[in-house]
Amino acid sequence: MAVRERLSGNEAVAYAIKQVNPDVMPAFPITPSTEIPQYVANYIANGQIDTEFIHVESEHSAMSATIGASAAGARAITATSSCGMALMWEELYVAASNRLPIVLALVNRALSGPININADHSDSMGARDSGWIQIYAESNQEVYDNFIQAFPIAEDQRVHLPVMVCQDGFITSHGVENILLVEDDKVKQFVGEYEPEHYLLNETERMAVGPYAVSNYYMETKRAQRQAMCSAREVILEVAARFEEMTGRKYSFFEEYQMEDAEYAVVIIGSAAGTCKAAIEEIRATTGKKVGLIKIRVFRPFPEEEIAKALSHVKSVAVMDRSEMFAATSGPLGAEVRAAMYQAHNTADVVNYFYGLGGRDITVSDFKKVYDNLEMIAKTHVVTEMYEYIGLRSAQSEEV
């Protein structure tokens, strides 16, 4: 029987770490990191797990030490957030290109400046090209479930890539919600013992990690990384199927909510999807309008064909980004979804909204307005603002 609990998102991830009992966790356990290393340090101090915790002097060192531990053959993890991740930047690429199956618990928060500590996807979206698999969550339940699934995905021989398991800062990381925990023995069995194939501490197979690659080799390395990311697709689905067998909870690249007959669709990542679901229920119950939602779970690799197929029958689409990329056009999700639709010759009207930057709240009534706009656009085929900020204070606004 699953264990009924109520935990914050940070507590849920720390609990999953306790159940997995990884070999090594280097972390910088103060701001801008999360409470996750702090809770794990407690488990270690209480003798509940035997993970080697390495106190490092910065996030750059946290990722460096995680890379070292993983290359040596350990199951290695770390946790961070926001500017902490920005300081890991150089090492994120090193982890991915060395094909190290590291799992990173990331709490998505805004990057400076102005200084802000709240929910925002700028940190992980900026790292979307670093070669990491990225998995996002709507709720505490999902971040817990994703974290457990990350190990068999990362460590699969077809993949061998690091995975970042993302959740929205404060909204889920500090919010307490109901959660169903999987029993310890089942989690241990699900992730299994880590058996690295090639590792530095294997004295029967001498190897080097992270050498210089001249132009004659560099490009093949990148192609191999790409292949791993392609292969990750099937592995992610296989792991999700095994997870569903264990828990009954179904996961895929994305969740389709009321999409079967939807005419107007929102595509979104993270905790705001839950708020959108409430808006959908209300709209369908009061007006009968066919509104639906696609909630992206896996952003890297990007499920291009599947998204295009899921959107093939809709009249208009709002893609919603919780980060800017200052293209002066789309946000990161907006660009990907539009490209996917173009490839599939889907000519439904698409708008791209920016919302929730730096923790700006988004409400059920905001989503209702989004669906109103989508209906209007589908009727008139006139898109007045292809890129728009939602919830922005105007010069006339009385709100401060």
Partner 1 sequence: MKDTVEIRWHGRGGQGAKTAALLLADVAFKTGKYVQGFPEYGPERMGAPITAYNRISASPITVHSNIYEPDYVVVVDESLLDSIDVTKGLNPKGAVIINSTRSKEEIEEHLHGYQGAVYIVDAKEISMKALGKNYPNSPMLAATVAVSKIMEREEFLAEMKASFQHKFAKKPEVIDGNMMALELAFKAAV
Residues that bind partner 1 (CB under 8 A): 6, 117-118, 138-139, 168, 170-172, 174-178, 271-272, 274-275, 277-278, 359, 361-364
Q: How far is CA 342 from CA 10, 262, 383, 388, in A?
A: 38, 20, 17, 21
Torsion of CA 148, 28, 169, 23, to 10 degrees: 0
- Comparison of 146 and 275: residue with beta carbon closer to partner 1: 275
**Minimum separation from the CB atom of position 36 to partner 1 (A):** 17
CA distance 354 to 336: 15
CA distance 98 to 162: 9
Residue pair 292/267 in contact by the 8 Å Cβ criterion:
no
- Comparison of 57 and 399: residue with beta carbon closer to partner 1: 399
**Minimum separation from the CB atom of position 30 to partner 1 (A):** 13
**Minimum separation from the CB atom of position 169 to partner 1 (A):** 9
- Comparison of 285 and 328: residue with beta carbon closer to partner 1: 285
Assigned token pair, 141: 């339940």
- Comparison of 51 and 173: residue with beta carbon closer to partner 1: 173
Q: Give me the helix-helix angle, 9-20 and 184-191, nearest 10°.
A: 70
- Comparison of 118 and 330: residue with beta carbon closer to partner 1: 118
**Minimum separation from the CB atom of position 115 to partner 1 (A):** 9
- Comparison of 136 and 170: residue with beta carbon closer to partner 1: 170
Residue pair 304/339 in contact by the 8 Å Cβ criterion:
yes
- Comparison of 73 and 391: residue with beta carbon closer to partner 1: 391
Phi first, then psi, for residue 320 (nearest 5°) are -120, 120
**Minimum separation from the CB atom of position 141 to partner 1 (A):** 10
- Comparison of 17 and 276: residue with beta carbon closer to partner 1: 276
- Comparison of 182 and 362: residue with beta carbon closer to partner 1: 362
User: Among 278, 307, 324, 245, which Cα is nearest to 139's?
Assistant: 278
Residue pair 54/25 in contact by the 8 Å Cβ criterion:
yes
**H helices of 73-214, where?**
82-87, 89-97, 122-126, 140-155, 184-191
**Minimum separation from the CB atom of position 272 to partner 1 (A):** 6
**Minimum separation from the CB atom of position 305 to partner 1 (A):** 28
CA distance 111 to 120: 8
CA 390 to chain centre: 22
**Minimum separation from the CB atom of position 362 to partner 1 (A):** 6
**Minimum separation from the CB atom of position 97 to partner 1 (A):** 35
Q: Give me the helix-helix angle, 215-247 and 140-155, nearest 10°.
A: 130
Q: How far is CA 53 from CA 19, 48, 82, 234, 334, in A?
A: 16, 13, 21, 33, 39
